Structure formats: C-alpha cells, structure tokens
Chain A
Amino acid sequence: MPLVRKPPSQAPATVASPAPIEGTSEQRWAAVRDAAERPDGLALLADALSREGARDGDPRVREAIFTSLARLATPESAAVVVPYLRSDDANLRTGAIDALRAMPLACLSHLPALLRDGDADVRLLSCELARELPDEEANRLLCELLERETEKNVCAAAIEVLAEIGRPEAVPSLVRCAERFAGDPFITFSLKVATERIAAPARDRQ
C-alpha cells in the first residue's frame, strides 16, 4: 500500500512566545494568539492592536489580536476593541464589530454609552451588538435608543434587530418612533413589519 504511516507526531512542541509586538509577521501572529492565555495578555494585546491597527499593520496579525481579545471576553477586552469602531479604516471597523459580536456579554456594560455615542455610525453598529444580548436587555437598550434617536439609519438598524428579538413591551417605543418618522416610507414600512412580527406570537398564544 503506497500510503505512508509515520510514527506519532514529529511536530515540535509549543514554543514559548516572543514578546507579542516584535519580530516578523509569523512571530507576531503566534505571539498574539498565545497572549490570551498569558496573565498580562490584555495589556499586550492592547499594545499590539495599537501598532497593527496602523496603516502598515499586518491584517492577519490584526485579525488574530481581535480573536484573542474575543477569547478573553471580558468588559476590559471589549474596551480595548471599542475605540476601533470609530476607525477610518473600514477593515479595522469591521474587525472590531466582528470581535465585539463574538463576545456579546462582555459588551453589555459598554452598550449604553455606545448607543449614545456622538458618531451615528457607532450607534448603528452598536445596534447589531444588541442582537446577541439576552432579549430583555436588548429590548430595553434599543427602546431607549428609539425614543431619542434622530438619525433614521440608526433607527432602521434598531428596528431590524427588534423585528427579530422584540418583545411586546417594545411596541409603544416603535409606535412613537413611527410617529416621528411618519413621512419616511422606509422607516414606516420597517416599523410596520417589526410591530407585526412582535405582535404575532402574542396573538398566537391567545
């Protein structure tokens, strides 16, 4: 039989990592991946992200940093990622939102501030993070946003999430939002769909 069976693995054991922000791309990649298991990992990853987040940073290393921060999944590791939601670099923004989405409960303490952020894009992206939260928290946060939000795209993002996870208590906030955007056909349509979807299970239970 021409296939080869070799003795049990010949690969080298895990090698101790170099300092995470030095060396070649390969070394930095390996180091940031291991950082999530180091006691000083959070600080190392924050430092590494500030370097790799620069224009000449390595996207692959950056991705591994986001993954390691998501593995830590603490409010502190989420805090390292949050500022990158405001990056001018679209890839970095996407990496940040994906990382935060992978640690939903760690984002919980940051979401009230994010949903009040001065940057409408940050508020919009943060609506998506609420989708991963327990329903009660998500409904409360998104309804609060709907009561005050003036940007229709942000409202649309919140409505889309509520259409999936909304509870009957969200309906009054949706109705008031509909009144504020009465002249906007897209928002009006989205609100109609969301309120119908939320009402349907309650109606079915009766």
Chain B
Amino acid sequence: MSEVEPVSPEELRAICEFLYRRTGMLFTEAKRYYVQRRISDRMNALGIAPFRTYFAYLRSDADGEVEKFINAFTINETYFYREDHQLRCLSSDLLAERVRAKRPGEMLRIWSVPCATGEEPYSIAIWLLENWPQVDVQDIEIIGSDIDTQCTAAAAEGEYGARALMRLSPQLVEKYFVPVGKDRWRVVPELRQSVQFSSANITKASETRQHGIFDVIFCRNVLIYFDDASRRVAAENLFEALAPGGFVCLGHTESMSRISPLFDVRRFRDAIVYQRPHAGGKGGGSNG
C-alpha cells in the first residue's frame, strides 16, 4: 500500500460527518486510526490523491463510491452460533410464545439485521432445524439484511472458512456444508435457499418498512456504533418492524433500556430480550 498523507482534524471531521449523515455511524478523532486506514484503502484502490480530491469524488458518488466507502466501515467479522444462548432462548421460549399469538398456519418471520456475511441467519436456520421440534410443522421465513451489499452477496454465496465454523460440531459441518477447497466450506443448497438476503439500513424507516413485520429480530452489535439520535431512530424502526408481542435480541453489551422506553424487558432462562408490548401498550412484560 502506498503511503497516504494523514488527514487533518478538519478533514477527518468533514468525512466523519459525511459518514454520519449517510449511515448514522459516528466516528471522531478518537477513532482516527480506524478511519484513516479506510480512507487510505479507498484512495489507494482508486489511485486518487490528495484527500480533498478523494472527498470530492466521494461526495459526487462517482462510480458508486459512497456505497464502497460505507462498506469499508461496516464490521463484518462474525461466526456461526455466536452468542448461542440467544438461539437457545429462541427455540425454548420466544417462538413458542409467538406461535401462540398466531393464527393456525400463519408464518413466523425472523429477521437478522445486520447480517454481515450470513453467519447469523444461517445459524438461526441450523439451530431451529436441530433444536426446535415444531420446525417441521411451522412455516418459518428467515431474512438476513445488511447495509453492505458486498456482504449480502457473499451471504447468498454461503462460503466460509474454518474460523467462521469453529463453534459448529463436525457433525453439523458435515450435515449443512460441503467442502469447496482447502479449509473452505459452502452451505448446502437447501439451506441457502431457505434464507433470503436483502439490503437495509436500520436507521432508514423507508428501508426497514419494505421488509414487513417480524416475530423476532436479531440486531446484535450494531447499535453501539451509533450516536444517541441514530440509536433512537433505529430502535423505533425495529419497534415498527415487530408484531405486537414480538422480540428483539441485541448484543450482550447492548441495552435497549438505555436507548428507548418503547420496549418491555423480558428475562428468560437463557437470555434477556426486548419485547414490543402487546396491543394496548406497555405492561405485558413480566419476567419470562
């Protein structure tokens, strides 16, 4: 990589504000190294310098640069069965409650957002196939969405390295993956066809609304990157995307109670989750 001259504090602030307006992700001088590295990567990839020329290129969205720039900032590393206590909670408590609230034959809908490269929605699918007895009689739709379209394209391909599969037993790997090269595996076609992927920014109501209403939403480890205003907007978008009585699972370091009073806290044996109150307002959220 050729050396790109470090951006000035004013330039850093300008590009961080640009990123914030587009995505809700907030970076400051404290994250200079992280931001600078991504700016340098993009400038090197394009062969553009100095920074002000690149910023003009970015602002004009030449050749879809805005999307590529945003993609450089999203956190994509994850693995199968990450925070599996929430998956246990899903199969042992959440789905049973949601099924009781539905008419016979009505589909359950689960949303993984952001889904990165697909490990989470495929994990949900594998977990339910392995651990939820009703999986054979209940229609379930699983959707994975991410702001990063390269990620969703990779997710649809469903190819992973050993690191992503480290928490799966050899039996599960053999059952749901096929080897495609040295230390590479691909999700079996039947499973890939069971999960749908799409693009969505959870701070944009116009994008989340297009995905319909869900029974359970997994939204893990993204709200921590947002500032207060964007977190509030995202929380309201999640609320709106849930059926009354539906659940949202956050990352273990995140707390919806610090973001929004809209949700009830539900404490189940395996996890704390947040619930959109049943019709009639808050108050249905006693301990699970």
A50-71, CB under 8 A of B: which get 1 and which 0? 0000000001100110110011
* Chain B residues within 8 Å of A29, by CB: 240
Binary per-residue interface labels of chain A (1-38) against chain B in the complex, 1 for a CB within 8 Å, 0 otherwise: 11111101111111000000000000001100110000
B273-288 CB mask vs A (1 if < 8 Å, else 0) is: 0000000011000000
Size category of the B interface is: 35 or more
Q: Are B135 and A9 in contact (CB under 8 A)?
A: no
| CB proximity to A under 8 Å, residues B239-285 | 240, 260-262, 281-282
> When A1-B194, A33-B205, A59-B261 are in contact, do A6 and B229 touch as well, CB less than 8 Å?
no
B281 contacts across to A, CB distance below 8 A: 59-60
A177 at the interface (CB under 8 A from B): no
Which stretch of B4-12, B75-83, B207-215 is in the interface?
Answer: B207-215
Task: For A103, give the chain B residue with the smallest CB separation.
Answer: B229
Within 8 Å by CB of B212, from A10, A14, A33, A59, lies: A10
Q: Closest B-chain residue to A91, C-beta based?
A: B261
Q: How distant is A51 from chain B, measured CB to nearest CB, in Å?
A: 18
Contact A8 B198 (CB under 8 A): yes
Number of A residues whose C-beta is below 8 Å from B? 30
Question: B14 contacts which chain A residues (CB < 8 A)?
Answer: none
| Contacts known (A59-B261, A102-B229, A103-B229); A1 close to B193, Cβ less than 8 A | yes
Taken together as a complex, chains A and B put the C-alpha atoms of A9 and B229 apart, in Å, by 28
A42 within 8 A of B: no
CB distance B190 to A67 under 8 Å?
Answer: no
Tell me whether A170 is interfacial, beta carbon within 8 Å: no
Please determine whether B212 and A1 come into contact, CB atoms closer than 8 angstroms: no
Tell whether A70 pairs with B261 under 8 Å between CB atoms, given A14-B209, A60-B281: no
Instruction: Report Cα–Cα, A6/B108, bound state, in Å.
Output: 12
**Of B61-69, B86-94, B138-146, the one with at least 4 CB within 8 A of chain A:** B138-146
Are B125 and A63 interface neighbours, CB within 8 A? Answer: no
Closest to B207 in A: A14
Of B138, B139, B190, B210, which one neighbours A9 at CB under 8 angstroms?
Answer: B210
Q: Which residues of B contact A33 (CB under 8 A)?
A: 205, 236, 240
Q: Which residue of A lies closest to B193 (CB)?
A: A5
Residue B129 interfacial (CB < 8 Å): yes
| Nearest A-chain residue to B139, judged by Cβ | A4
Check A6–B196 contact: CB distance below 8 A: yes
Q: Bound state CA distance, A163 and B212, in angstroms?
A: 47
- CB-based contact A3/B140 at 8 Å: yes
Cβ-based interface call for A123 (8 A): no
Does A93 lie at the interface of the complex (its beta carbon under 8 Å from any beta carbon of B)? no
Nearest CB in chain B to that of A34: its residue: B205
- B63 to chain A: closest CB distance in Å? 26
Residue pair A5, B141 in contact (C-beta under 8 Å): yes
Taking a contact as CB atoms under 8 Å apart, the answer to whether B228 and A4 are in contact is no
Is the C-beta of A115 less than 8 angstroms from some C-beta in chain B?
A: no
How far is A147 from B105 in the complex, measured between Cα atoms in Å? 69
**Could you say which residues of chain B place their CB within 8 Å of the CB of A11?**
209-213
23 residue pairs from A and B, CB less than 8 Å apart: A1-B129, A2-B136, A2-B137, A3-B135, A4-B107, A5-B141, A5-B193, A5-B196, A8-B198, A9-B210, A10-B212, A11-B209, A13-B209, A33-B236, A33-B240, A34-B205, A63-B261, A63-B262, A64-B236, A66-B232, A67-B232, A67-B236, A70-B232
Which 6 A/B pairs are nearest by Cβ-Cβ distance?
A: A11-B212, A3-B194, A102-B228, A1-B190, A102-B229, A67-B232
